[in-house]
Amino acid sequence: MAGRKYHHGEVRQTAIRQALTLIEAEGSDALTMRALAKAVGVDHRALYRHYPDRDAVLAEVAAEGYRQLLSAQMAECHDASSPLQTAFEVYVRFALDRSYLHTLMLTRSRQDMDSHSALGEALKAELDQLMIWSRLALGAEKGERETDARDLAFAALAAAYGLVTLASTASLMPRSPDDLKAFVIDQVRGVLEGQLLRFGARPAEA
């Protein structure tokens, strides 16, 4: 096939954009190196100069998903009265609106994290920021109440992930998309409020 001409680095950037588009439309199973090369407009062998295999592409797309999630959270949490609660509201909307990408992000293995530094770094940035917001919710400084902050974030994340996973199966939770988001957000808020009371902190007013 006649390939397009790209400047240095553009093939890699374009490949991730196209892979993200393909995955969000059809899921990660639809991604092959040949399909991606066709979308990018290059011979599939050219992709192997940038990505050794399909798993490397999936890891980079998952990393981009975490970066986009954190960017959206940072934007909405900037002036929020309860950044932790707002962060999880953003997470729920992101996960339900972009379910294929969310599934890819949450199904990467520890080996993927170790083998692809960009993915590990993107996930760490997300978790580190959740810890900052958790400490803020507890009224703690860095280095204080670290276990409580971690437990608070983990409890809310577990609730959000579990509810989002169930919500992705329409037969289990037959609601309209907007009602579903509102329901999941309300349930996660309840978990956060309960955990904050457990740790002796005052939940933010809705």
pLDDT (tens digit, 0 to 9) for every residue of the chain, 206 residues total? 445 666 556 888 999 999 999 999 999 999 999 999 999 998 888 889 889 999 999 999 999 999 999 999 999 999 999 999 999 999 999 999 999 999 999 999 888 888 899 999 999 999 999 999 999 999 999 889 999 999 999 999 999 999 998 887 766 666 788 888 999 999 999 999 999 999 888 776 65
Entry pTM? 0.90
The token duo for 151 is 């437990």
Domains 1-51 and 54-198 belong to one CATH topology: no
Give residue for tokens 């998952």: 62
Closest listed residue to residue 98, CA positions, set 48, 124, 64, 75: 64
Taking domain 54-198, whether its CATH number is 1.10.357.10 is answered by: yes
The token duo for 114 is 């170790």
How far is Cα 5 from Cα 78, in angstroms, rounded to an integer? Answer: 41
Give residue for tokens 């577990």: 158
The CATH code of the domain at 1-51 is: 1.10.10.60
Q: Where are the domains of the chain?
A: 1-51, 54-198
How far is Cα 135 from Cα 166, in angstroms, rounded to an integer? Answer: 29
